[in-house]
């Protein structure tokens, strides 16, 4: 069972590790394709948050979306590597990554229902939601197994007549 669990974690985390590696390879001076995709989506996300909650949500002046992308790459890559090793910390890093990136990058709510982009973004959103659920399941199972191991067994009492 342990070997199959490891293979499952490798297959699961390959999504994150390979995506992070691709973003690192493409980063360059301008942040690459990932930053070009992130910039307009993040601006639209900020606009939606500002309108919905009537606040002025913006980044500090010295923080650019390039810095957010670098943080996302670290969460995605390091989280994937740690998750492969069975670490709960890796699962938590991936949860933070998915919770932050999913509503920004897969903004199906900004598209018309008849648009082909809507279907693509909605499916991608659901994929990330299922990955989020799988990570929660992993953490729940890991915590459950830990509690079972630490539970003290009751000593056997001799039966009296």
pLDDT tens string 50-68? 888 888 877 787 788 899 9
pLDDT tens string 77-121? 999 999 999 999 999 999 999 999 999 999 998 899 999 999 999
Question: Contact, 84 vs 16, CB < 8 A?
Answer: no
Question: What is the model's pTM?
Answer: 0.85
């Amino acid at each position: 069972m342990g070997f199959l669990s490891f293979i499952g974690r490798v297959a699961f985390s390959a999504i994150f590790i390979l995506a992070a590696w691709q973003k690192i390879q493409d980063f360059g001076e301008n942040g690459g394709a990932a930053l070009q995709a992130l910039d307009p989506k993040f601006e639209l996300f900020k606009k939606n948050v500002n309108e919905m909650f009537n606040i002025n949500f913006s980044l500090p002046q010295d923080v650019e979306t390039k810095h957010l992308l670098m943080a996302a790459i670290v969460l995605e890559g390091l989280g994937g590597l740690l998750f492969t090793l069975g670490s709960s910390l890796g699962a938590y890093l991936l949860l933070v990554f998915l919770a932050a990136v999913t509503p920004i990058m897969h903004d199906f709510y900004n598209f018309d229902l008849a648009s082909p982009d809507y279907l693509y973004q909605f499916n991608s959103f659901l994929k990330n939601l299922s990955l989020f659920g799988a990570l929660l399941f992993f953490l729940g199972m890991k915590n459950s197994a830990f509690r079972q191991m630490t539970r003290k067994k009751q000593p056997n009492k001799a039966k009296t007549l």
